[in-house]
Amino acid sequence: MAQTVFITGSTSGIGEASARRFAAAGSRLILNGRNEGKLQSLKAEIEVQYATEILLLTFDVRDRQAAKEAIDGIPPQWQAIDVLVNNAGLVLGTDREHEGDLAEWDIVIDTNIKGLLNITRLVTPLMVKRNSGHIINIGSIAGDAAYAGGSVYCATKAAVKALSDGLRIDLADTPIRVTNIKPGLVETNFSVTRFHGDRARADAVYKGIKPLTGEDVAETIFFVASAPEHVQIAEILIMPTCQASATVVHRNIKQ
C-alpha cells in the first residue's frame, strides 16, 4: 500500500506544495486546513492530476477538541500514518516586543506551538503503536536568532526546535524519525498574512532577491522523508543563495 502522509496547513504555501509533491510520488494524503472550500478545491485538482486517495480533515490546529475528534474519527484504513508534516504556522505584525498586540501573540503562540503539540500528541501514539513513522516539523531560520519586530514569532520557532529535539530523544528507542526543517526567506502567503493583507509591504520583503518557493521547501521535505529508514535527518536549514543568516540578505536593487 502507498504511504500515507498527513499535512497540516495544507491549503497554501509549503503545505500545498508538499501535498502536490507527495501526491506525485503516489502517496495517499490526509490534508488539514481551516477552509473547507480551499481543501475541496485542492483535493479536486490533485485527484485530476494524480492517481491518489485524499482524506480531508477540516479544523483549526489550535482547537484541541476539534483536532481530537477529527483524528480519533479517522477511518481504520487511514490510521497507518507514515509521515506527519506539522506545517501549520503563521506570524502577525512586526511590533516591537514591548508594544505588541497580545491577541495576535495568542494566535501565533497557539498555532505555532500548541497547535503543533496538539497534532503531535494525537498522531505520534499511532506511529508508536505501529513502530513506524516520521514526524517532520516546519521550523524557521527565525528559531536560530531573534530579529527586530519578530521576537515572539522567533520564540515560537525556537520552541519548534526544542520540541523536535525533545521528541527525537523521547522516541530514541523506536524507529520513528523526527526532523526539523528551517526555511529562510520563502515567498508564499506568509508575509501577506504578517502584514494583514498588505500586498505591497509583503512584496517589498522579496524585492531584489530570488527567494525560495513553497516547492523548494516541499522538495526538501520529500527528500528527508525518502531517506533510508536507518537515516534520520534531524535538522535542515535551507535558505536562498542570497541569504546568509536571518538578517543578512544581499539585494540587487538598482538605485
Active site members: 153
Of 245, 254, 247, 250, the closest CA to residue 209 belongs to: 250
Angle at 105 between CA 102 and CA 109, to 5 degrees: 145
What's the one-letter identity of residue 111?
Answer: T
Enumerate residues 6+ apart whose C-beta is below 8 A from 189: 12, 13
DSSP state of 49: H
Q: Cα separation of 120 and 107, whole Å?
A: 18
Dmax (CA) of the chain: 61
What is the C-alpha to C-alpha distance for residues 148 and 79, in angstroms, rounded to an integer?
A: 42
Q: Report the run of H or E that residue 28 belongs to, with start and end.
A: strand 28-33
Sheet holding 177-183, edge to edge: 54-58, 28-33, 4-7, 83-86, 134-138, 177-183, 235-238
- Residue 56 phi/psi, 5-degree rounding, is -105, 135
